[in-house]
């Protein structure tokens, strides 16, 4: 099986231990191959196109929808798990199904929450992060002026850049497509969002245009920024470090939801690990048994706790996991899948939405404005042109 590299040690350690337990229980050996986040998509695509490679892939978000005809039907496993563990969250079901069958099985999602240094905000009179976009921008202008700016990824970062760029456009009422999959990204709402995004970018630490997923973790833990948007991995790394300086950063780190824009409701996005099995596998029953085993309480709850909530649960029963009450700083990540909008919002999840996401259309639209390479109007028009390559309705 193929999976993305870990951002918290407990993820990989428990995943391996649970896999070994599966082998001990069934006699089925499982080899785990690990790829960097940016390399997971091309490796998955190659396997699908040549019809050989990993039997199981922990794919990203709606990537399985690019390979619907190559996916093993997981309906029996997903139905069993849903009935046993309180049902799947609507987002998990949306991302896992196509044409009335389960083509993939979400195992978790990393949510983008604001990770911030409470002391740095406190010096400017803020107890926490403002909950509205205007107040959020004003705070960041003050942080920038005081020499402790924030920063958000604007490179082709699978998790971090997609998270905040989608939040930005959705917060102002923009969307890539409407309910009928008609491309609507070139709109006044998108232009307004891009103007705001440029104003916010002007408060960032230099260099964010090149940031990939590990970059903001490193810069935050180096004490260079006062806040970023990330999963809980920053807090995890600092809390578990033997370095006293990093432990102090952990004590000073708190989490908050992204602010609400003119639409008047949360518009966050999560990065889902969406397990799929290719139908070329000579071991379809073993592949399904493995995925079911990994989601059973005896294995999954221990993995969830080892991740300290970095991967949020897709099955409602795991709301009761001890991880969510073990530390007050975990609380903001408890409802990641329940709270998030889907990739391809407001339209369907499918090959087109997956292609637009993997081509970083939304991210590069925002980045072009922040870099001064395009006006908001030009960037929205280019986003529309690129999206229409995939949405042919």
Which superfamily does 2-109+270-331 belong to? Answer: Periplasmic binding protein-like II (3.40.190.10)
Given this chain, do its domains 2-109+270-331 and 113-268+359-388 carry the same CATH topology? Answer: yes
Architecture of the structural domain at 113-268+359-388: 3-Layer(aba) Sandwich (3.40)
What pLDDT score does 308 carry? 87
What pLDDT score does 393 carry? 62
* Residues with Cβ within 8 Å of residue 297, at least 6 apart in sequence: 85, 317
Cβ atoms < 10 Å from Cβ of 275: 25
* Residues with Cβ within 8 Å of residue 10, at least 6 apart in sequence: 236, 303, 305, 306, 307, 308
Contact 60, 41 (CB under 8 A): yes
What pLDDT score does 370 carry? 98
Strand residues in 225-382 grouped as ranges (E): 227-230, 253-256, 270-277
Strands 105-111 and 113-117: unpaired
* Residues with Cβ within 8 Å of residue 391, at least 6 apart in sequence: 177, 181, 182, 183, 347, 352, 356
Tell me how far apart the alpha carbons of residues 183 and 383 are, in angstroms, rounded to a whole number: 10
Q: How many DSSP H helices and E strands does the chain contain?
A: 17, 10
**pLDDT tens profile 141-192:** 999 999 999 999 999 999 899 999 999 999 999 999 999 999 999 999 999 9
Rg over alpha carbons for the chain, rounded to the nearest Å, is 20
Tell me how far apart the alpha carbons of residues 67 and 361 are, in angstroms, rounded to a whole number: 20
Tell me how far apart the alpha carbons of residues 220 and 68 are, in angstroms, rounded to a whole number: 39
Q: Which two tokens stand for residue 125?
A: 């009179």
Tens of pLDDT along the chain (393 residues) come to 999 998 888 999 999 999 999 999 999 999 999 998 889 989 999 999 999 999 999 998 889 999 999 999 999 999 999 999 999 999 999 999 999 999 999 999 998 899 999 999 999 999 999 999 999 999 999 999 999 999 999 999 998 999 999 999 999 999 999 999 999 999 999 999 999 999 999 999 999 999 999 999 999 999 999 999 999 999 999 999 999 999 999 999 999 999 999 999 999 999 999 999 999 999 999 999 999 999 999 999 999 999 988 899 999 999 999 999 999 999 999 999 999 999 899 999 989 998 999 999 999 999 999 999 999 999 999 999 999 999 986
The model carries a pTM of 0.91
Contact 263, 171 (CB under 8 A): yes
Domain boundaries, the chain: 2-109+270-331, 113-268+359-388
Side-chain half-sphere of 272: how many Cα atoms within 13 Å? 32
Q: What distances in angstroms separate CA 203 from CA 55, 162, 210, 293, 342, one per listed residue? A: 45, 19, 16, 47, 28
């Amino acid at each position: 099986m193929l999976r993305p590299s870990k951002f918290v040690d407990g993820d990989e350690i428990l995943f391996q231990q649970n896999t070994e337990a599966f082998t001990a229980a069934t006699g089925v050996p499982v080899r785990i191959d690990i790829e960097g986040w940016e390399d997971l998509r091309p490796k998955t695509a190659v396997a699908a196109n040549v019809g050989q490679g990993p039997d199981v892939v922990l794919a990203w978000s709606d990537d399985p929808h690019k390979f619907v005809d190559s996916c093993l039907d997981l309906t029996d496993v997903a139905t069993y798990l849903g009935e046993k563990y309180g049902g799947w969250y609507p987002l998990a079901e949306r991302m896992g199904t196509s044409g009335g069958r389960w083509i993939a099985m979400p195992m978790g999602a990393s949510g983008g929450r604001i990770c911030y240094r409470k002391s740095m905000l406190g010096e400017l009179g803020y107890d926490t992060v403002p909950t509205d976009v205007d107040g959020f921008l004003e705070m960041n202008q003050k942080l920038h002026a005081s020499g402790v700016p924030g920063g958000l990824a604007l490179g082709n970062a699978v998790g971090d850049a997609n998270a905040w760029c989608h939040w930005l456009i959705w917060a102002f009422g923009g969307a890539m497509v409407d309910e009928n999959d008609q491309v609507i990204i070139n709109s006044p709402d998108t232009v307004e969002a891009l103007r705001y995004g440029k104003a916010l970018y002007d408060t960032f630490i230099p260099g964010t245009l090149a940031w990939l997923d590990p970059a903001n973790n490193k810069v935050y833990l180096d004490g260079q920024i006062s806040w970023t948007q990330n999963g809980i991995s920053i807090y995890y790394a600092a809390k578990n470090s033997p370095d006293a300086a990093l432990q102090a950063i952990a004590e000073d780190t708190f989490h908050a939801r992204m602010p609400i824009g003119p639409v008047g409701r949360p518009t966050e996005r999560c990065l889902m690990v969406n397990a799929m099995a290719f139908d070329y596998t000579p071991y379809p029953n073993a592949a399904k048994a493995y995925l079911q085993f990994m989601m059973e309480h005896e294995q999954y709850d221990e993995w969830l706790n080892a991740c300290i909530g970095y991967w949020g649960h897709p099955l409602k029963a795991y709301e009761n996991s001890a991880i969510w009450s073990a530390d007050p700083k975990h609380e903001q990540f408890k409802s990641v899948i329940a709270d998030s909008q889907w990739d391809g919002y407001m339209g369907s999840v499918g090959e087109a939405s997956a292609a637009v996401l993997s081509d970083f259309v939304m991210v590069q639209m925002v980045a072009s404005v922040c870099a001064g390479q395009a006006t908001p109007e030009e960037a929205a028009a280019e986003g529309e042109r690129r999206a229409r390559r995939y949405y042919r309705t």
